[in-house]
Chains A and B, each alone.
Chain A
Amino acid sequence: MEHIVRSAIKATNFRTIGRLAFNGASTFCACALIWEHLITIQLSEGPSMYPTFDVRGDWLLISRMHRNGKGIEVGDVVRYGHPNFQGVHVAKRVVGMPGDFVCQDKPLSTSIGEEGNMIQIPEGHVFLAGDNLPWSRDSRNYGPVPMGLINGKIVARVWPLSKMGWVTNPLQPAQLDAQNI
């Protein structure tokens, strides 16, 4: 140990300090770029997505390649910046894509499509809703969200090991057998 410290002190000069700082900054930037452009692992929070994610929080794997709404489909769970709070990120499910007609229910209501008004989602926006309808503040409160706020798609749950798995999109095109047609 002492030997290592001594040799380190002996080797310290402006050149090595500068090189160390440069390499450190480079490593930090590379990690930040991967974190912001490829994958993020984050702890979820709150009851708004209850049957899908636990109320006490799950560690989620978020693909940042889908930011700005690239390749997002109806039924995907996305992470987006909250339109009313800076620096707050929320995970909700996509219910409508640009051009779709969606019934904007009353906030925090449990009924679906009974009251509220039918809206057409404007260009470049998506309609988002939590899975736990009475406990979720989502597009029913603040209307369709611009796609530019979407900064990732939730791909998998990584932490409680017992519940590890992909987050699937339940809204798939219907597969009809030849007999039924």
Chain B
Amino acid sequence: MSRPQRPRGVPTPNSRFRVHAQEPKLQIPEPIVSEGPSLSKEPRASLISHLLTNIRQRISALPYPVRRVCRTFRWAVPMLPIALFFPEHVMQVMWVRGPSMTPYLNEEYAETQTKSDIVMVNMWPWGSLTPFKNERKLERGMIVTFRSPANPSHIAIKRVVGLPGDRITTREPCLRQTQIVPWNHVWLEGDAEDPRKTLDSNTYGPVSLSLITGRVFAVLGPRMRWLKWTDWESDKGESGSDDAAVNSYGQSTRGRVLKNAVKLEQPMLN
């Protein structure tokens, strides 16, 4: 099939030019030597391409619906790990149940008790670019999701009220009068005015930052809006809401926090 061809520049050995017979003889072996490796390589490449064409022919011989299913699988199978990875590390949609955040999320819970807000949760550990390094910068007023310390299979959603070093004057179910938030912990509370409607840090104490999984940054429904945690610190109220009760509640909660009351020392690691 692929016989070594004589290079074009080299004349054919002719009996008439016997006088110069030595020169062509010296020149001819060189092209043969140089073609040696390419000869040995060719069957490998042709084997692969032969296999590929064979597979392509077999696939094109299949009936059309089967081919369509194959083509769908070709992009759906690689899509699956990405689709599973994305909500775990980048962002996720969650439904808020219960009355614990009522004036802010689940606004009409008192009337309907059925509607649940759909929120977008940023699962990316903001502060670092790699998804596996779990370092978060939290501020007072952010709404976070975390694994409930009381029930590990349950994801809870609360507002960050106190940062490490703050002194909190606690609410009703808590046994202590005041609590200093320890190193790498935060004080989380629900927005509900009635302390019996929310199960938060007043029940299970300060929550470790390692338990926090994500930050809520937007509400998709029923009333779509962005959530800005800076509104919590400012006096104008949350998300431009003109509800006086909401604002007064926020102020009373902020009044119970003494910011940076103590300077914490980093504990020993090992």
Residues of A within 8 A of B (CB): 3, 22-23, 25-27, 29-30, 32-33, 36, 46, 48, 68-69, 81-88, 122-125, 137, 141-142, 146-150
Per the 8 Å Cβ criterion, residues 215-264 of B in contact with A are none
Are B147 and A148 in contact (CB-based, < 8 A)? yes
Per the 8 Å Cβ criterion, residues 48-86 of B in contact with A are 75, 78-82, 84-85
Option from B41, B81, B146 in Cβ contact (under 8 Å) with A26: B81
Residues of B within 8 A of A (CB): 41, 45, 75, 78-82, 84-85, 88, 131-136, 146-153, 182-185, 204, 208-211, 267-270
Option from A3, A30, A86, A124 in Cβ contact (under 8 Å) with B210: A86
Are B270 and A148 in contact (CB-based, < 8 A)? no
| Between-chain CB contacts (< 8 Å), 5 pairs | A25-B82, A122-B150, A124-B148, A142-B267, A149-B210
Are A149 and B211 in contact (CB-based, < 8 A)? yes
Chain B residues near A48 (CB, 8 Å)? 270
Query: In the complex, what distance in Å separates the CA atom of A23 from the CA atom of B82?
Result: 10
Are B208 and A83 in contact (CB-based, < 8 A)? yes
Query: In the complex, what distance in Å separates the CA atom of A88 from the CA atom of B151?
Result: 22
Chain B residues near A123 (CB, 8 Å)? 150-151
Option from A33, A86, A147 in Cβ contact (under 8 Å) with B136: A86
Min CB–CB distance B113 → chain A (angstroms) = 26
Apart from A3-B45, A82-B210, A124-B149: 6 A-B pairs, beta carbons within 8 A: A27-B81, A33-B84, A85-B210, A122-B204, A123-B150, A146-B149
Query: In the complex, what distance in Å separates the CA atom of A33 from the CA atom of B150?
Result: 26
Are B183 and A87 in contact (CB-based, < 8 A)? no
Closest 3 A/B residue pairs (Cβ): A148-B147, A26-B78, A29-B85
Are A33 and B81 in contact (CB-based, < 8 A)? yes
